[in-house]
Structure 1
Amino acid sequence: MKQSITPKIKRMFLNNWGLKLLALFFSILLWLIVVNVDDPTQTKTFTTSVNVVNADVLTDAGRYYEIPEGGNTVSFRVTAKRSVMERLSGSDFTATADMNYLEDDSRVPVTITVNNNNSSITVSAKRLYLQVIIGNKMTTKHDVEVETNGNPAEGCVIDKTEVDPSSVTVSGPEDVVSTIAKVVAYVDVDGVNEDFDTDASLHFLDKNGNEIDQSRLNVNHETVKVSLTISHIKTVAVQVQTTGSLPQGLYLESVSVDPDTIEITGEADVLNEITEITISGSALDLSKLTSSLTTTVDLNTYLPSGAKVADSNAAQATVKVNVSGDETKTYRVPTANLTIKNLEDGSKAVFDATTVEVKITGKASDLADLVAENITGSVDVSGLGAGKHTVSVTLDLDSGISATAATTNITITTE
């Protein structure tokens, strides 16, 4: 039985083997057709962002690059089976622009790689480029200035401002960085009545105070910490106290100080004890003066510990001590104003002239008020008989005013 089955099996496989091979070929072909119909090859466009590498090639040379707005992506065509394509997205590809291969200072070749190294995916061989703008790079360092908006609460003042960090480093295109005149941190202090800290963003201003667009700048700190110390404030009078007396021949005309009021700041308990600032000391010793004096003093030196002038730029006061010396003026005093003393009975005396010239010395302001017609005086004719005589004139003058010796002629007659 077994022997009869075996030949049959052999004949089944070996007989008509050519037809059997042909059938197998058509079966495989049919399978391929079915597979390709159900999972065909497709081509699709993908877009992804470009990753720039080796940018230090430019920065080390003192240059920079910028990518035009909206230009940081590339589009490329990909070919793959539909079953593979359906699972693909732009994130499955890496686009790389290597600055080592910068061309014409304007573009960089872009290489597309498949992230999962799938050999069934084909990327178009079309050359892709990243367009760039190349320029000179500039780096500068600027101190941070604090500018406040608003006013502290009534009776309060900003005593001290601190900023951390105190300076920032800025880099970017030379044509932008070179226009930076100052870096400012703005702080709102409206109604503030106590110390406080705050984080403040930085603003870059040109020489005209216009704000500079920061989008093209690289700054090592985007914000700074600003600390403000708030103190109380009070307005007090400024007084001057002189010492000593002026040398003989000098007269004190006036003493003045500018400003005569000032705002001071400090702790409330210290300010409550201060009613005025008195400027005194050896600088205002009248006995040492030979002429008028103008001097500048620091008002802070006359304040106790814990208080100071609120505005540091206004701490200097100017003291003026105006003095004048003796002046000599010539006056023509009417002889009618002179009394004749000790004239003997029965005698008559007449001045030969209607005026007598006298030189009077005294304080300028006193002399300015002195009028010749109001000056009185006398002559003494004791022991003089009839005839023409020259007599000394004595004037009635206020203290501090004196006259040099003066004479006039008088004629005495007897009845």
Structure 2
Amino acid sequence: MGKKLTNNLKLKILSVFLAFFVWLAVTNISNPDVTATKEVPLEVLNEDVLSTNGKTYELIDNRTTVTVAYKVRTLDAGSISASDFRAYIDLADMYEPTGAVPVKVDVKNNKVDAVTAKPMVIRVTTEDVQQKKFDLTAYTEGKTESGYREGTVNIVPTSIYVSGPESQVGRISTVGITIRLDGANSDLSGTAQIQCFDANRNKITLDDRVTLSRSEADYTLSILKVKTLGLNFETEGRVADGYRFTGIESNVNSVDVVGLKSDLAEINAINIPKSELNMDGASADKEVIIDLNKYLPENVELADSNSKIHVTLKVEPLETRTIELKTSKIRQVGASSRYSYQYDRDAIRLSIKGLQEDLDQLTDDDLEAEVDVSDMGPGTHPGTVTFELGAAYELVSQDDLQIIVHDREPGDTVPAPTQEETGSSTRETTAAESSSGASNHTTAAETSH
């Protein structure tokens, strides 16, 4: 039984081999046709048919290949390649209403037959070509070294032409180059790729139909030293009567300027002449707009494009205030120990003019009132009281003061001699308290306008 099974297995294997050789023999003898396909690059012919009329084209779906189907003998199938076919469309054959162009296939190998292309028709869209001139713009990336800033840039060429479909050229807002600063502290130069940008300064990637008259541009960029300068203001004129000029306010007190190191070394401030700040007859704050460019030295520029500053001449009204001063606060200058001195009243009134804020802070002690009695003998004398008011105040008027001088009686107490009796001031107390001291005084404070 086992021997029989072994013989049957051998017969089966032998049958398989015999069947294969029979098939191979039949195939070689009959050599039947088989159908195959190849992906073949698609060519476009007669593009000048459109370009000479100011138009460009685009294949719908951006197709670059077609599928070529063909028949070939079985034995030749392995020798067929895509290079045995040439697939193309001829734009001269385009049906303009739909943009349809038939696909044609040339066969370079006579072993194939029944050639067809898929798709058989390619649709083409056409568009007018636009040529537009753009001035080149320089953009920068990165930062200069601290204390430096980019200056003027020169680009060669200054402009180029961009040609392409209207829809593509219309996307372009500016054309220019990008210069990297990267901590620069000296002038930069080089060559940069020309790029197209949209309105938001984003780089635009355009298709192959867009061409630039030049792809690169040469540039030089000056790097300038930055220096901070203070502003010096000069004024002229007098404000209206009853008012006082109190100072200058500016929205800017210093500015950054740029220039060559040698030029900046010679300047430390920008001086605004008094002709810009005239306050004649002013009775309120006066605002002035000043263009700083007018007062910059040659070859020095503002770092900021805004060159105008706002300056305010502050003018405030003067007020008159009446103050009552106790005569005990009046010092006596040049008093003699042989006499006693009395005032004819306990207080005097005086009118002082000044700014409200200054008047609010004025005290009796600030007046430093004193009267000179050095030439007075026994009797009643008019006394002129002087005050140390300072430039902030003006004495408008004051009450008259009478000083009564008496000889001292033998029993009166005589104060001990002080430096005032030897040339300095003396303070002496009588029935009415009096004091004296030496000082330089004026009868009225200087009025400031």
Q: Where in structure 2 are there 5+ consecutive unaligned residues? A: 1-28, 331-339, 371-383, 401-449
Does the aligned pair in 2 maintain the 1:172–1:216 contact within 8 Å?
no
Deviations 1:337-367 (A, max 9, x none): 798xxxxx9x99678xx996x7643345543
Whole-Å separation in 2 of the counterparts to 1:295 and 1:278? 15
Give the AA of the match of 2:153.
T
Does the aligned pair in 1 maintain the 2:165–2:210 contact within 8 Å?
yes
The residue number in structure 1 matching 2:98 is: 105
Whole-Å separation in 2 of the counterparts to 1:308 and 1:329? 49
Whole-Å separation in 2 of the counterparts to 1:76 and 1:173? 35
The residue number in structure 2 matching 1:9 is: none
Does the aligned pair in 1 maintain the 2:160–2:213 contact within 8 Å?
no
Other structure's SS at 1:159 match = strand
- Count of residues paired in the alignment: 354
Does the aligned pair in 1 maintain the 2:161–2:212 contact within 8 Å?
yes
Instruction: State which of 384, 389, 393 in structure 2 corresponds to 1:398.
Output: 389
Deviation at 1:240, TM superposition (A): 1.5
Question: Residue 321 in 1 paired to residue 285 in 2?
Answer: no
Instruction: State which of 212, 215, 224 in structure 2 corresponds to 1:220.
Output: 212
Instruction: State which of 146, 152, 172 in structure 2 corresponds to 1:160.
Output: 152
Higher strand share: 1
Q: Output aligned runs, 1:13-412, within 5 Å.
A: 47-54=40-47, 57=50, 60=53, 64-69=57-62, 71-76=63-68, 90=83, 93=86, 95-98=88-91, 100-102=93-95, 105=98, 107-113=100-106, 124=115, 129-132=120-123, 134=125, 139=130, 143-163=135-155, 164-166=157-159, 169=162, 171-172=164-165, 174=167, 180-183=172-175, 185-192=177-184, 193-205=186-198, 207=200, 211-215=203-207, 218-221=210-213, 223-242=215-234, 244-247=236-239, 249=241, 250-285=243-278, 291-309=284-302, 311-325=303-317, 327-331=318-322, 333=324, 360-370=352-362, 398=389, 401-402=393-394
Give the AA of the match of 1:146.
A
Whole-Å separation in 2 of the counterparts to 1:99 and 1:316? 65
- C-alpha spacing 1:396/1:371, structure 2 compared with 1 (3 Å): same
Other structure's SS at 2:305 match = helix
The residue number in structure 1 matching 2:379 is: none
- C-alpha spacing 1:266/1:338, structure 2 compared with 1 (3 Å): closer
Deviation at 1:313, TM superposition (A): 1.0
Other structure's SS at 1:68 match = helix
Give the AA of the match of 2:178.
Y
Whole-Å separation in 1 of the counterparts to 2:36 and 2:226? 78
Give the AA of the match of 1:271.
L
Give the AA of the match of 1:263.
D
Deviation at 1:133, TM superposition (A): 5.7
Other structure's SS at 1:305 match = coil
Deviations 1:346-397 (A, max 9, x none): x99678xx996x764334554343358977989xxxxxxxxxxxxxx98957
Does the aligned pair in 1 maintain the 2:68–2:118 contact within 8 Å?
no
- C-alpha spacing 1:348/1:286, structure 2 compared with 1 (3 Å): closer
Deviation at 1:149, TM superposition (A): 1.7
Whole-Å separation in 2 of the counterparts to 1:170 and 1:54? 16
Identical residues among aligned pairs (%):
15
- C-alpha spacing 1:322/1:102, structure 2 compared with 1 (3 Å): same
Deviation at 1:223, TM superposition (A): 3.3
Other structure's SS at 1:313 match = coil
Deviation at 1:109, TM superposition (A): 0.9
Give the AA of the match of 1:161.
V
Whole-Å separation in 1 of the counterparts to 2:327 and 2:390? 23
- C-alpha spacing 1:288/1:105, structure 2 compared with 1 (3 Å): farther
TM-score by length of 1: 0.61
TM-score by length of 2: 0.57
- C-alpha spacing 1:102/1:187, structure 2 compared with 1 (3 Å): farther
Whole-Å separation in 2 of the counterparts to 1:279 and 1:254? 15
Other structure's SS at 1:230 match = strand
- C-alpha spacing 1:403/1:233, structure 2 compared with 1 (3 Å): same
Whole-Å separation in 1 of the counterparts to 2:121 and 2:45? 9
Does the aligned pair in 2 maintain the 1:94–1:112 contact within 8 Å?
yes
Does the aligned pair in 1 maintain the 2:238–2:279 contact within 8 Å?
yes
Does the aligned pair in 2 maintain the 1:173–1:217 contact within 8 Å?
no
Does the aligned pair in 2 maintain the 1:201–1:223 contact within 8 Å?
yes
Whole-Å separation in 2 of the counterparts to 1:281 and 1:169? 54
Whole-Å separation in 1 of the counterparts to 2:357 and 2:268? 35
- C-alpha spacing 1:125/1:222, structure 2 compared with 1 (3 Å): same
Other structure's SS at 2:227 match = strand
Whole-Å separation in 2 of the counterparts to 1:313 and 1:235? 15
My pick for the range that moved more, 119-128 or 316-325, is 119-128
Q: CA RMSD, aligned part only?
A: 5.4
Deviations 1:154-196 (A, max 9, x none): 543211123334465364473x665555555322121332231
Whole-Å separation in 2 of the counterparts to 1:126 and 1:236? 75
Whole-Å separation in 1 of the counterparts to 2:82 and 2:343? 141
